[in-house]
Amino acid sequence: MHRATPHAFTARWRASSLPLTRPTTRIDEPALSGSAIVFCRRVTLISGLCVGLWLSSSPVLAQRQAPAPAGVSPLRDLSASVETLTRRVSLSVVQIQVMGYGPVEQQPRDGETGLVIGRQRSIGSGAIIDADGYIVTNAHVVEGARRIQVVLHREGVATGPLNLLGEDTSLTVDARVIGVSTDLDLALLKVDVTGLSALRFADYDAIRQGELVFAFGSPEGLRNSVSMGVVSAVARQLDPDSPNFYIQTDAPINPGNSGGPLVNVNGDLVGLNTLILTESGGSQGLGFAIPSAVIASACPQLRKYGHLHRGQVGFTPQTITPALAAGLGLSRKSGVVVADVMPGGAAETAGLEIADVIATVNGKSVDTVPVLALELGRYAGGDVVTLEVVRGRSTASLTLTVEELPHPLDQLAGLADPESSAIRKLGILGLDVGPDTASLTRDLRVPSGVLVAARTQPSSGNEVPLMPGDVVHAVNRLSVRSVDALRILVEDAKADSELILQIERSGQLMFVTCRIF
């Protein structure tokens, strides 16, 4: 199994330096005189007329040149519809260029050993889901990024013919990460461009096996590509007991397609291309996309919190196998059985028991762990859910209240005082790295700095690319060891100036730029 990984730049890009057209004559061929050129043209014209007269008398060609039927060809109509769809959807598809550092291939010199670290560039894809510049992609596309750039399609690029003169009318802009969920492999990006063409989310409940779909993205780095296929499966589990599930498609997906949209014939977002099953590294017709329902549920939370706030129901589901059904004496040989009930949780309070079989969630039938996870994932903390369960030979209806699962980063906001921890020009609440934050900062590369506890509205109106969990180590190469020191450096910055912050995010050091007004 492979992620439809961002495509790294390789030597094949050297082909871009080749000429677009071949010379029409060789340099070693003698030039023709003006009369010779006229002669050649006349001979060509006469020969063409003779061949044309002969071919027109041929019954075979006459049959081929028969006028097309008056009615519209279904294939021609389909082709026109696909072209229209492609032009429209392409405006909502972006190429994501990621710059970072990592191991690079290099021939070892005499006496040299060890790992060589160098600059790396990779390419992925993304889908615009909000006209104000919000873009969804895979978390693995932007993992370890020091700088992220997004290539947007302008109207002329998406709808116009291939420009052989080399003029590039696309728009490349910097992007920043707003939120990440590594569990779902989702990331939300933001660009400072408005009025973009955004995709609508498809109704996941209406997606059907065999439905025609189109995969967009940058396979092997080839920007603005599209492939066609069908939905092979609506809810495919790669791990029978994992709550994560995918839409399977045979639309060709290759490295570089990661994060690109899978759309239906209406141009609505069915899923986000994320991984492939392959032995060769290329598409074998086994592509998988994160379903639209999962994306639609996760993105508002990533936008608001920078991470997910998951609901908790207090039990662990497991897929029923024939062996389980026989050994536990279950009335069903397939479906979902309760493997564990958390003490004191919502499920135990509602009366759920181990070995209960989950039949429905709020009246909707569930027969697999992914379907159960999808249905329960629609509800947030405080929502009421009714479960119909099969217990032995009888059925029962249980009502439970979903609890909100605390996130480690949520604890940071509780530690920060809104007044003394606020750095208003950066729009953050900060905490000194120390004993109070030891559980969250024990693996820091630099054991000092200011931990970002939460984001607030910056007083300058500027959006600063910091996230909860980031640690600020330096400002313009000046070391930062406390909230007070960081506040002084920011407050002393001149109006309309840029600050370069050295931060640590997910175990990696990077620089981010903040403009202070």
Residues 85-121: b if buried by 16+ CB within 10 A, e if exposed: bbeebbbbbbbbbbebeeeeeeeeeeeeeeeeeeebe
Give the pLDDT of residue 425: 84
| Model pLDDT for residues 285-333, shown as the tens digit of each residue | 688 999 999 999 899 989 887 888 777 899 999 989 999 999 999 988 8
pTM of this structure? 0.66
CATH of domain 410-516: 2.30.42.10
What are the boundaries of each domain within the chain? 86-105+115-305, 311-404, 410-516
Give the pLDDT of residue 359: 94
The percentage of residues in the chain with a pLDDT greater than 70, rounded to a whole number, is 74
- The residues annotated as belonging to the active site are 140, 185, 258
Give the pLDDT of residue 68: 52
| Model pLDDT for residues 149-206, shown as the tens digit of each residue | 999 987 634 444 444 444 456 889 999 888 899 889 999 999 999 999 999 999 998 9
| Better pLDDT: 140 or 115 | 140
The percentage of residues in the chain with a pLDDT greater than 90, rounded to a whole number, is 38
Strands 336-341 and 315-319: antiparallel
Average pLDDT over residues 62-81: 69
Residue 310 structure tokens: 């998951």
Q: What is the third-level CATH fold of 311-404?
A: Pdz3 Domain (2.30.42)
Query: Is it the case that residue 443 has pLDDT exceeding 90?
Result: no
Query: Is it the case that residue 104 has pLDDT exceeding 60?
Result: no
Q: What's the CATH class of domain 86-105+115-305?
A: mainly beta
| Better pLDDT: 498 or 159 | 498
User: Is the Cβ–Cβ distance between 211 and 231 less than 8 Å?
Assistant: yes
Give the 3-state DSSP-derived string for 118-143, with helices as H, strands as E and coil as C. EEEEEEEEEEEEECCCEEEECHHHHC
Most confident listed range (12-26, 30-44, 361-375): 361-375
**311-404 and 410-516, same CATH topology:** yes
Give the pLDDT of residue 27: 26
Most confident listed range (23-37, 47-61, 180-194, 492-506): 180-194
Stretch among 356-370, 384-398, 432-446 having the lowest mean pLDDT: 432-446
